[in-house]
Amino acid sequence: MVYRNIGAGACGTIFAQDGQSIVVKLAKADNLELWNDYIKHDTVSECFIRYDVQGVKVPECHFYVPAEEAQHFVENPGLVNAAREVCNLPTSALVTERIQPMPLESRLFLIDKYCSPQNNEAAKLDPVNQDCLVRIYLGSMRGQSGARSSLRNFKMHLDQMVELEMDIRHMASSMGVAMAVMHWAAKTDARDVEFVLGYSTGKFMFAGEESALKPETYTGPSSYRDEDFSPRTIKLWFLDFNHVQTITMDEAGVARAIQAASANEPYLPKPLQQSMVAKGAWNEFVTSYAEASYKIISDEELGPDTLKLPRLFLLGLVATEKRRHERRRIRFGSWEIE
């Protein structure tokens, strides 16, 4: 089957086959960065399963292929054909679950709502827009209508979520849990991770239903040729772990986590905001982060001294935002522009 380039990240280009549930990320240059992506992704995935995280999904991490394993490319000539113009082959590969793109009706709505009117019809026909995932920016109120020409790397800002009556508090709470798992279970800084909306595929049958089947009943997808992705629901996903680094369980580790969160600030809710919606999102994030952190620290037996660290992380985010406000006031003189 034919592979298509469906996106690119900092360390790799991503390829997929239509109708299949996996993606292949090929390293652009730094194989060690993709290896880190694999190790951290696998660790985070295991932690999300162990703590039964419900509000956020992590794509399954299937396997890693070193560049030296030339047989992988021999057996996948379609991947070679798709990748040869954008990657130096052979290169390392990371195979993970594909986050299925937003459904057609959602993509058409986003194009009508947020793409420039003169580009609407072209955008609806552009095959690039078939791969739309929606990046969730709870830390930004700067969404604009009619300013886009494509759905690739579509960014949904907090003011747009309000307009669309999305469940902001649930997403903020889910982000808090995800960050707590990253910090205290996976013991990482969560640098450059992303939160996106995409489709999640359902299981083919409910647990226990197989006991009612006759022996030798086929239990795979309804189509023998392609994977069946029904039923589907739109879910919040957590991905991109190539820049994630291990932290120590002390104040030095918290400082690194604060720095990483500040560098990745559009995704996470912000403190000290004027909007009631933004304040509500921040409060939900704080509550869920604190509750999940204390439970994980207890379960992981990290010791009583560690219990103060989640609060230090949250206070660090507040201090960072205060400094940002102060810089704005200095920059604009007597105009206090937030």
pLDDT tens sequence across 197-237:
998 765 433 333 344 444 544 344 444 344 544 456 889 99
* Domain membership flag for residue 219: no
Domain extent, residue 192, equals 99-202+227-338
Distance between CA atoms of residues 123 and 197, nearest Å: 20
Q: Is 210 a member of any domain?
A: no
- What distance in Å separates the CA atoms of residue 67 and residue 221, rounded to the nearest whole number? 33
Whether residue 266 sits in one domain with residue 145: yes
What CATH number did the domain enclosing 62 receive? 3.30.200
Residue 109: per-residue pLDDT: 92
Residues 71 and 137 in one domain: no
Instruction: Tell whether 159 and 290 lie within a shared domain.
Output: yes
pLDDT tens per residue across span 55-100: 999 999 999 999 988 888 888 999 999 998 888 888 999 999 999 9
20 and 105 together in one domain: no
The reply to whether 171 and 197 lie within a common domain is yes
Provide the residue-wise pLDDT of the chain in tens; the chain has 338 residues. Answer: 689 999 887 789 999 998 889 999 999 877 789 999 999 999 999 999 999 999 999 999 999 999 988 888 888 999 999 998 888 888 999 999 999 999 999 999 999 988 888 878 888 888 889 999 999 999 999 876 656 677 888 999 999 999 999 999 999 999 999 999 999 999 999 999 999 999 876 543 333 334 444 454 434 444 434 454 445 688 999 999 999 999 999 999 999 999 999 988 799 999 999 999 999 999 999 999 999 999 999 999 999 999 999 999 999 999 999 998 888 766 655 544 44
Q: Last residue of some domain: 97, 131, 161?
A: 97
Asked, for residue 207, whether it belongs to a domain, the answer is no
Count of the separate structural domains present in the chain? 2
Q: Please report, for residues 41, 47, 254, 256, 257, the alpha-carbon distance to residue 188 in angstroms, rounded to integers and kept in the order given.
A: 11, 11, 10, 9, 8
55 with 183, same domain? no
Q: Is residue 212 part of a domain?
A: no
Are 154 and 135 within 8 A, CB to CB? yes
Q: Are residues 42 and 67 in the same domain?
A: yes
Q: How many CB atoms lie within 10 A of CB 230?
A: 9
